[in-house]
Amino acid sequence: MEQRRTSDDFIFGTRTVIEAIRAGRTIDKVLIRNGLSNELFGELYQLIKEFGIAFQYVPQEKMDRITRKNHQGVIAMMAAVDFYRLEDILPEIWERGATPLILILDQVTDVRNFGAIVRSAECAGVHAVVIPEKGAARVGDDAMKTSAGALNLVPVCRTASLATACDFLRESGVKIVAATEKGNTLYTRAEMSGPLAIIMGAEDTGISPALLRKADELVRIPILGQIGSLNVSVAASLMVYEALRQRTP
C-alpha cells in the first residue's frame, strides 16, 4: 500500500477549491458560507456531489475565524491522508490470508481521541479504521501528530453510511461487536478471534441506536468506579488488544 501524503491545513476561494478537487487532492470537508449562490459555486457544488466530498454550510463569522483572507465563501479543509473504500480494503485483507480486524468509529469527533485510537489500532494490527463522512473528527495535521504517524500506516475508510458498511461486513463473513454499557457480555468473554469489526462510540453519546441494531453482539467493559465511562481511546485500546490476545497462540 502506497505512502499517503500530507497537505496544508486548508485552502480557500471557489476556483482554488475547484482546481484542487479536479487535481485529486484529498479534501476532508468543504465549508460553504450560508446563502452562497453564483455560477462558479454551481460548478463547485456539482464536483462536491460527484466526488462524494463532505460539506457544511456555516455562517460568515465561522469562516472569518479560519482566515481573514478573501475566501469568497468557500474553504476546503484538507485531509492529512487519502481515504479508502472499505469495499476495496476488505478483499485485500482476505487476499493476504489475514483475518480481518476492523475498527468502526461512530460519532467520535475529538481529534486527539481519534489520533490516539488510530495509534493503538496500528500497534494492535488493526487492518482499517472506518469513519462516517459526517460527524467524525477532522483527519488533519493535529490527528496525524496525535497518532504518532499511525495514520500513514492504517487505512482510513470513509463512508456515507456506517450502517451500510456494517451490512457489507456481515455479508462478507465479518462478525460485528459493539462496545456499549448496554452489553450483557463481558468483552473478555466475547468470541473475537475470527473475522471481526468492533464499533466504538463517543463517551458522551455512545453508539447510535441504529448502529447498535447492526451488531451481532453487544459487549461491555466493566466499570467499578463512580465515573460512568472510559475515555473512548482507552476503551478502543482494550477492545482491539483483547481481539489480539485471542488471536495470539
Q: Is 49 part of any domain?
A: yes
pLDDT at residue 192, as a whole number: 97
Report which of residues 8 and 153 the model is more confident about.
153
pLDDT at residue 24, as a whole number: 81
What pLDDT, in 10s, does the model give residues 104-148? 999 999 999 999 999 999 999 999 999 998 888 888 888 889 999
Residue % of the chain over a pLDDT of 70: 97
Give the integer Cα–Cα distance in Å for 187 and 233: 16
Whether the CB-CB separation of 194 and 99 falls below 8 Å is answered with yes
Q: Is 1 part of any domain?
A: no
- Same domain? For 130 and 237 the reply is yes
CATH number of the structural domain spanning residue 229: 3.40.1280.10
Give the integer Cα–Cα distance in Å for 132 and 83: 11
Give the integer Cα–Cα distance in Å for 221 and 194: 20
Q: What are phi and psi of 178, to 5 degrees?
A: -110, 130
Report which of residues 132 and 37 the model is more confident about.
132
Q: Is 5 part of any domain?
A: no
Give the integer Cα–Cα distance in Å for 127 and 94: 11
What pLDDT, in 10s, does the model give residues 56-67? 899 989 888 888
Give the integer Cα–Cα distance in Å for 1 and 121: 17
pLDDT at residue 7, as a whole number: 38
What pLDDT, in 10s, does the model give residues 215-225? 999 999 999 88
What pLDDT, in 10s, does the model give residues 51-107? 888 888 999 898 888 888 888 899 998 888 889 999 999 999 999 999 999 999 999
Q: Is 238 part of any domain?
A: yes
pLDDT at residue 201, as a whole number: 95
pLDDT at residue 94, as a whole number: 96
* pLDDT of residue 209 exceeding 90: yes
Strand ordering across the sheet containing 55-58: 10-12, 74-78, 27-33, 55-58
- Domain end (from 49, 78, 107): 78
pLDDT at residue 8, as a whole number: 52
Bridge partners (DSSP) of residue 75 are 12, 31
- Same domain? For 137 and 230 the reply is yes
- Domain end (from 50, 78, 106): 78
DSSP per residue, 176-232: EEEE-TT-SEEGGGS--SSSEEEEEEBTTTBS-HHHHTT-SEEEE----SSS----H
CATH number of the structural domain spanning residue 73: 3.30.1330.30
Q: Is 3 part of any domain?
A: no
pLDDT at residue 249, as a whole number: 84
* pLDDT of residue 13 exceeding 70: yes
Show Cβ contacts of residue 153 under 8 Å, excluding neighbours closer than 6 positions. 122
Q: Is 151 part of any domain?
A: yes
Q: Is 42 part of any domain?
A: yes
- Same domain? For 163 and 46 the reply is no
- Same domain? For 32 and 109 the reply is no
- Same domain? For 169 and 74 the reply is no
- Same domain? For 145 and 233 the reply is yes
74-78 and 27-33 strand pairing: antiparallel
* pLDDT of residue 47 exceeding 80: yes
What pLDDT, in 10s, does the model give residues 157-185? 999 899 999 999 999 999 999 999 989 99
pLDDT at residue 4, as a whole number: 36
Grid coordinates belonging to 228 = 460512568
pLDDT at residue 228, as a whole number: 78
Q: Is 175 helix (H, G, I), strand (E, B) or coil?
A: strand
pLDDT at residue 248, as a whole number: 92
- Same domain? For 153 and 191 the reply is yes
Q: What are phi and psi of 162, to 5 degrees?
A: -65, -35
* pLDDT of residue 234 exceeding 50: yes
Helix axes 39-51, 14-22, angle to 10 degrees: 30
* pLDDT of residue 156 exceeding 60: yes
- Domain end (from 78, 100, 131): 78
Whether the CB-CB separation of 76 and 19 falls below 8 Å is answered with no
- Same domain? For 66 and 94 the reply is no
- Same domain? For 74 and 94 the reply is no
Bridge partners (DSSP) of residue 10 are 77
Q: How many domains does the chain have?
A: 2
Instruction: Identify the domain containing residue 147 by its residue range.
Output: 83-247
- Same domain? For 25 and 122 the reply is no
Give the integer Cα–Cα distance in Å for 134 and 139: 12
Helix axes 111-123, 232-247, angle to 10 degrees: 10
- Same domain? For 170 and 213 the reply is yes
- Same domain? For 92 and 66 the reply is no
Q: Is 119 part of any domain?
A: yes
pLDDT at residue 195, as a whole number: 98
Compute the half-sphere exposure of residue 153: CA atoms within 13 Å on the CB side of its CA: 14
